[in-house]
Chains A and B, each alone.
Chain A
Amino acid sequence: MIIAKNVEKNVDTSEGQLCILKGIDLEIKHGETVAIVGSSGSGKSTLLGLLAGLDVPSHGAIFLDGEDITQLTEDQRAEVRARLVGFVFQSFQLLPSLTALENVMLPAELNGVAGARELAEKYLGRVGLDHRFNHYPRQLSGGEQQRVALARAFASQPKILFADEPTGNLDSTTGAHIIDLLFELNREEGATLVLVTHEHRLADRCQHSIKLDAGEIVADDFRNITAADSAVTADDQ
C-alpha cells in the first residue's frame, strides 16, 4: 500500500543543509496499523508528511497504492490525497468558522460527493456527537473537537488514514477514548492506519512499529496482533 525507497529529506538553513531524514526504506501493507515513534526532532512528522504526499522528498521514491507520488505535481498529489488519504492532527485543524457538521461535510463537498450531509451526520453520530451538529469548534471541548476530526477523517472513506500525534493535545483519559475510537473506526472501515506518536501505550496497539532516531530508522518491528486485537477499548486494559 505504501512503499518508501531510499527516501531522504534535506532542508536549507542559515547554517547550511540540514538532513532531516536519510535512507528511509519501508513498506506498509494494506490494512496494517503502523506506529512511527521516536523522540522530538527525530523526523517522525516529516516522514508522515512525505508518506501522505503533503511534501516531496529530496531523494528517493514513495509509492501510494502503486503510484509514485514523488513524480507528481502538487495538484496531482492533491487528487491522490482526495482519493486515498484521510488525516487526524494533533491540533485538530477544524475550521473555526464552520460548525461541527460542516467541518465533517467539507471533504465530501470538496470532492463533489453526493449526500455529504447524510454521510457527515452518520459519522458524527458514530463518534457520539449527534447532539453537537451545529456547534462551532470553540464551543466544543478538546476531546469533542478531536472526535469531530475523526468523523471528518473517516467520512471521506480513505484507504489510508494518517494521524499525527492524535492525543498530543488531550489529557490521558480523553486521549485513551480517542484512541479507542480511532482503532475501532479503523477496523470497521478497513483502512491502513499510519500514526505518529511518542506514546508507547499507543504504539503497542499497532501491528507494526517503526522507530526513528536522528532521521534514520533504528527499529522496524512487527507484533503478532490483529487489527481486531488492537481495537480493545481503554476500559478493558
Chain B
Amino acid sequence: MFGLRLLWRDWRGGELGILASAIVIAVAIVTGISLFAERLQQGIVAQSNNFLAADRVLRAAAPVNPELLAYAETVGLRQAQILGFPTMVYTGNDADAAMQFTSVKAVSESYPLRGQLNVSSEAFGTVTQSTESPLPGEVWLDPRLLPLMNINVGDSLFVGEAELTVSRVIVTEPDAGGSFYGLGPRVLMNIKDIPATNIVQPGSRVSYRYLFAGEIAQLDNYGAWLEDKLLPSQKWMSLGDVQPRISRSLERAEQFLLLAGALGVGLAGIAIALAARRYSERHYDYVAMMKSLGATSTRIMTIYSSNLLLLAVIATIVGSGVGWLIQEVFISVLQDYFEVTEVPSISLRPFTIGAVTALVCLLSFALPPLLSLQAASPLRVLRRDLERSGVSNAFTYGTGVVGIAVLMYWYSANLVLTLAVLAGVGMTFAIVGVLAWYLLQGSAKVGMQAGSSWRLALASMRRRGFQNAVQAVIFSLAIMLLLLLALVRSSLIEEWQIQLPEGTPNHFLVNIAKRDVPEVEKILSDNQMSGEPIYPMVRGRLVTVNEESVKAWSAKTDPTVEDSVDREMNLTWSDVKPSDNVITAGEWWPAGASVQEVSIEAELAKRMQVGLGDSLSFLVGSESLNVTITSVRELDWESMKPNFYMIFPPKLLQQYPATYMTSFHLPSEEKRFLNQFIRRFPTITVIEMDAVINQIRTIINQISSAVELVLGLIIISGLLVLVASVQASLDSRFQESAILRTLGAKRQLVLGSLAIEFSALGLLAGFLAAFSAELSVFGLQEYLLDMDYVPHPWVWLVGPVIGAVLIGAAGYVTCRKVVNTPPVEVLRDL
C-alpha cells in the first residue's frame, strides 16, 4: 500500500514521466510492429497466393494417389483440382468448322481457392470479378478466340468429343503467371466434363495441379507429411517457387521490420536505462532518509521492485493499447493498397511479446540502477558529501546489453542478425566513445579563444568530459540507428523498384512467323512499344556433353540436370550479345563469324559443371550440331525480357525453321491495341503479364510503405532517448546556471551557451553516427541482406545537421526551465 502511494507521489512529482513513457513506447513499438507485421503478412500472403490461386500447389505429371488428397481432407485443408493440356477445339463437326489450337484448363468447382477470375459477358467487354468457375457443360474462352473462331457467347464449342456452351469470356486468371509457356489461348472448362471429351488417355500430355488452402500451420504440417511420399515427377510448391521475387521481398521486409523493431526497443531500452538512472539518483537521498527513519534494505527493495513491477504492468496495458492504435493507423494509411477482403485474425502473440519486452527491459535496464539504491548509506542524511556507492556502470550497461540481446534473438530467432547488430553497436560504442573524448578535449581548447557564450559552452563540455562523451555516444547511437534504418530502407525500396522499373515489358509475343517479323517490328516501333529485339527460336535437344550422353554426364555430375536439359530447348542466334546479359567468362564471337561456338547461361553451366572449351552436341530437326562453349553469360530470369540458355552464332542456326518472339511494354490505357493486333496476326500468341506485374508492384509498394511507417515509429523512440539523455544532465545544469546567474550572467548568455553546447555535441554525434552508420550498412548489406553496398555521401551531411538541430533543439527546450527558474529557488534546494 505504501509502495503504491510512493508510486503515485513520484508520478505526481514528474519523476516517472520519462521512465513510464519509455516503457510505454517500447511496448507500443513491439506490439504495434508485431500486430502490423502479422496482419501485413496475412494480407500480403493471401494476396500473393493469388499467383497460385491457392496457398500451396502439388504439381504432378499423373493423377496422385487418392490417399494424399484424403489426408488433406482430414487435416481440414480446402482443395481444388486443375487439369491442363493443349488441344485443338472446333466450332462443329463439319469440314468448314473453325478450329484453333488452345490451352485447356479444366477446373473443379472450388477453383480458385484464392484470388478471383476477371470475366466478361462478351469479347473485350466490361470486366467483372468472379470467384466461381465454369459449371459442367459450360466453357469460358479467351477473348481472342471469339473473333478468331468467329463465335459469340451462347454458341457451342467442341473440346474433343464434348460439346460445350460458351458462357463467358475469361480475361485473367489468378494463376496466369504460372502457365507462362502454356501457349495458345485459354479455354476454361469444368473438370467433370473431361471424361466426355475422350481426350485424356494414358500417355497424353496432361499436367495435374492440386490446389490447397488453409492455416499456415496446417499447410506446413501437411507439406511435411507429404515430403517423403512425393514421386520425382511431383512437386509441392509455395509462393516462393512461383514468384521468388515477392517471396524474397517479403522475407527482407520481415527481416527489416524485425531489425527495426529490435533497434526501436534498444533505443527505448536506452531511454529506460537513462530514466531509471536519473530516477535512482534522485531517490538516493530519499532512500537514505527512509533508512535513517528505520527502513531496512529489504524493505526498500521490496518497495522499489514492486513499484517497478506495477509500473511495468500499467505501462504494458497502456503500451498495448497504443500499439493497437499504431497498427490501426498503419492499416488505415495503407488502405489504398491494402485489399483486405477478410479481417485477418489477430493472435495473442503480439501482446505477449509486448508484455515480455516490458519485463525484460525493466529487469535489464531499470533494475540495476535501482539496485544501487539499496547501498545508499543512511549517514548521507548528515553528510551530503558522502560518496555514492553502488552498482557500477559496467554492470548496468552489461545487463542492458544482455537484455537487448535476449529480446533481439527472441524476436528474430536469427543468431547472426542478433550478433551482427550487437557487434555493430558495440563497435560504435568503443570507437565513438574514444573519438568523442578526444574531440571534446580539443574543441574545448579551441573554444577558449572564442566569445563568451562559446567559451562558457565549451568549458562546460570539457568539465563534464566523461559525462558528455557518454552522452555523445548515446546521441550518436540514436542518430546512427536512424540513419542506418533510413539507408537500409531506401536501398531496399530502390532495389525493389529497380527490379520492375516503369516500362518493364509486360507482354510477350511468341510464335511470330518469319514473314510477319518486319511488320510486327514496324507496328511496335510505330506505336513506340519496341524495346527488346525480336529473337528467333529454334527447337533443339542437347544430346551429348564432351562426347558423353546427357544421361551419363548428369549421372556423373548433378542428376537433376537431366530433368532440365533432356527435353526440347529454345535455341536462338545472335551476333549481338543481349544488352542485359553479362559475360563472366570467355568472349562473344565477332559479327558474321562462321564458328562452331555457343554461349551458355551461367547457372546452367554451373549445374552441368561445364565451362569454356567443353563441347556440346545438339540435335536440331534431324541434324546434329557440334559446338564448343566460348562464353558464359549471367542474366536476370525475372527481367520480363526474352532470355535464353543457349545462344549460337547466326550462321550456325539460320538455315533451320524458326519462329520468333519478343516482349514489349503496353501501357494499361492502350490495352485496346491488342485487339487490333490479334485480329491482324491471329497466329501470334500474346502472353499478357501486365496483371502479374501490377500485382507484384502493388505488393512491393505495400511493403515499402510499411517499412517507412515503421521507420517513423523508431524515430519517436530515438527522440525519446535524446530527451531522456538531456534530462539526465538537468540537475547539475540547474545548479550551474543558478550559480552563473547569481554571479551576474544574463539569461541570454546561459541560454546561448546551452544551445551551443548541445548543438556542438549533436554535430559531433551526427558526424560519428554517419561514420558508424556507413560501416553498419556495409556489414548488413554485404552479409545479411545479400545486396550490393553503395556509399552514401549524403549521410555525412545529413547526420551532423540532424544531430546539431535535433539535439540543439531538445537541449534548448528541455533546459529552458533551467534559466526560467529563479536562481534562489535552485540554490535553496542545494
A: residues with CB less than 8 A from B are 45, 48-49, 52, 54-55, 74-75, 78-83, 85, 87, 89, 91, 93, 95-98, 102, 106-107, 109-112, 138, 142, 156, 164
Contact = CB atoms under 8 A, between A and B. Distances in A.
B294 A78 contact: yes
B13 A138 contact: no
Contact of A81 (B5, B294, B382): B294
B381 A156 contact: no
Given A81-B293, A106-B293, A111-B294, A96 B829 contact: yes
A130 B297 CA distance: 33
Interface string B801-830: 000000000000000000000000100110
A138 B383 CA distance: 21
Contacts of B379: 49, 54-55
Contacts of A80: 294
B interface, size bucket: 20 to 34
B397 interface: no
A188 B618 CA distance: 118
B296 interface: yes
A136 B305 CA distance: 26
Given A75-B296, A78-B294, A107-B293, A98 B381 contact: no
A195 B829 CA distance: 24
B393 interface: no
A105 to B, nearest CB: 9
A97 B377 CA distance: 20
Contacts of A52: 292
A141 B297 CA distance: 33
26 contacts: A49-B379, A49-B383, A54-B292, A54-B378, A54-B379, A74-B291, A78-B291, A78-B295, A78-B296, A78-B297, A81-B378, A82-B293, A87-B292, A87-B293, A89-B381, A93-B381, A95-B289, A97-B13, A98-B9, A98-B13, A106-B289, A109-B5, A110-B2, A111-B294, A138-B829, A142-B828
Interface in B274-310: 285-286, 289-299
Contacts of A110: 2, 290, 293-295, 299
B12 interface: yes
Contacts of B286: 95
A97 B9 contact: yes
Contact of A75 (B285, B297, B377): B297
Contacts of A74: 291, 297, 378
B556 interface: no
B575 interface: no
B690 interface: no
Contact of B293 (A48, A75, A156): A156
A65 to B, nearest CB: 14
Nearest to B286: A95
Contact of A79 (B9, B290, B294, B384): B294
Interface in B384-399: 384
A97 B829 contact: no
Interface string B531-570: 0000000000000000000000000000000000000000
B122 interface: no
Ordered nearest first, which 9 A-B pairs have the shortest CB separation?
A82-B294, A97-B13, A75-B296, A81-B294, A107-B293, A54-B379, A78-B296, A109-B2, A54-B378
B708 interface: no
A12 B10 CA distance: 37
B12 to A, nearest CB: 7
B521 interface: no
B254 interface: no
Contacts of B298: 75
A78 B288 CA distance: 11
B161 interface: no
Contacts of B825: 138
